[in-house]
Homo-oligomer: A and B are copies of this chain.
Amino acid sequence: MGAGPRELPPFTLTEFERRVERVRALMTEARLDALLVTSEPNMEYLTGFTTQFAWNTPTRPWYFVLPRVSHPCAVIPEVGLSNWRATSWVADVRTWPSPRPENEGLDLLAGALGAVRRRFGRAGAELGPETRLGMPVADLLRVKTMIRPLALVDGSAVLRAARLVKSPAEVARIRRACAAAGRAFDTLPGLVRPGDNEKDVVRAFQAELLRQGVDKTPYTSIGTGCGGYDSIIQGPTNRRLAKGDILLIDTGSRYDGYFCDFDRNVAIGAPPSRSAARVHDLLWRATEAGIDAARPGATAEDVFLAQARVLEDGGMALGNVGRFGHGLGKVLTEPPSNKPGDRTVLSPGTVLTVEPSALFGAGKILVHEENLVVTEGAPELLTPRAPRAMPIAPW
């Protein structure tokens, strides 16, 4: 290894200043005096703190307090101090000796929140849709009591709105993850061998993703089956691949804290059936339509409708996933959802997956997925475009 392209330069201080400025403007609109941040994506987004440790061990919680007007502070376990100093721009760091389950830094955290200058009397935490709190709920409720009369409310909309538009440096990371996974997908037809089961293929494919330069592959689903697969979110299982199968792999791989999320279909040892080939072609065209619809001013719903129209015109039953793509960035799936009723307006910097799926045959489903960034003009495709005809793996 080591032969891949050089790593991207780290985010600049200016980048973090812009993020904080934007979040603070949104806090004013949302009438919040402070934000309490505990989750991996929001912590990384605002502070730059980079760690595998904090997010793999739930023993010790990690807190970040961003006041609307005064300086921010981190409240973290003592063991993390050098990691924090090495990766974050935030200088005010308060620590406690952890593990200490009876009080994991709650007094320090309440102190930091309590010292915030108050105009609205409200602090926001990550409580709303698509969030996962990064500390025990019982401790959050204790802090809520400790900081009264400062009210603890849902502040997740502020972070959702800020992260919806990616900076060029963020897009560069997603582009890099997409390119690496694209090179790995290029090797896929040659990677599968008679005798392999789904677990073998997924292990080999993950190793190839690393060789191509991703940092980590949290998500790799696989679907295989004679003439087509019946789920797009499962596996790997012990099922052995066979000639005549269609193979789907969908990967969420990370580069420097940002995800790609796309898939590829491969026919094993023989061309796909006429019906599978037709669905594949319709999905390819639906993807084209979805990509083309992702323009500034359009909504996530518009991106769905453009894809659905192609499939419905082709007489297809839409897939049962509940949407045709979604936001993408520090998390594998971020808002918005490309679905009826999601009127989120796209703007330059919005990164989306376009992901049409269709049901066919006896309980089969076929799916395509590409990633793009909305620009002032035509969308920029971040993934190398899938071939219109399904590739065939030698067997």
Contacts and interface: CB of A to CB of B under 8 A. Distances in A.
Given A196-B2, A234-B83, A322-B77, A127 B137 contact: yes
A77 B100 CA distance: 37
Given A53-B219, A323-B99, A132 B136 contact: yes
A320 B95 CA distance: 12
Contacts of A97: 322
A231 B56 contact: no
Nearest to A213: B203
Contacts of A99: 322-323, 337, 339
A321 B78 CA distance: 8
Contact of A238 (B7, B125, B216, B218): B7
A59 B219 contact: no
A332 B221 contact: no
* Most chain B CB neighbours (cut-off 10 Å) among A52, A128, A207, A217: A52
Contacts of A134: 132
Interface string A36-66: 0000000000000001110011111000000
Nearest to A199: B7
A52 B128 CA distance: 22
A18 to B, nearest CB: 24
A203 B199 contact: no
Given A57-B332, A59-B326, A218-B218, A196 B79 contact: no
A204 interface: yes
Contacts of A137: 125-127, 131, 133, 137, 140
* Most chain B CB neighbours (cut-off 10 Å) among A53, A196, A220, A238: A53
A138 interface: yes
A195 interface: yes
A372 B77 CA distance: 26
* Most chain B CB neighbours (cut-off 10 Å) among A77, A82, A134, A213: A82
* Most chain B CB neighbours (cut-off 10 Å) among A51, A100, A206, A218: A206
B200 A2 contact: yes
A233 B79 contact: yes
Copies of this chain, complex-wide, total: 2
Interface in A302-335: 320-323, 326, 331-333, 335
A133 B7 CA distance: 35
A7 to B, nearest CB: 6
Given A99-B322, A137-B133, A322-B77, A195 B234 contact: no
A199 B4 CA distance: 11
A335 B136 CA distance: 14
Contacts of A285: none
Given A56-B218, A219-B53, A233 B78 contact: no
Contact of A211 (B125, B207, B321, B339): B207
B131 A127 contact: no
A290 to B, nearest CB: 17
Contacts of A154: 138
Contacts of A101: 129-130
Interface in A152-168: 154, 156
A196 B2 CA distance: 6
16 contacts: A1-B203, A2-B195, A51-B234, A56-B252, A59-B130, A79-B233, A79-B322, A82-B234, A99-B339, A104-B129, A127-B138, A128-B136, A131-B136, A132-B132, A199-B215, A203-B210
Interface of A: 1-2, 7, 51-53, 56-60, 77-80, 82-83, 86, 97-101, 104, 125-138, 140-141, 154, 156, 193, 195-197, 199-200, 202-204, 206-207, 210-211, 213, 215-221, 230-231, 233-234, 237-238, 252, 320-323, 326, 331-333, 335, 337, 339
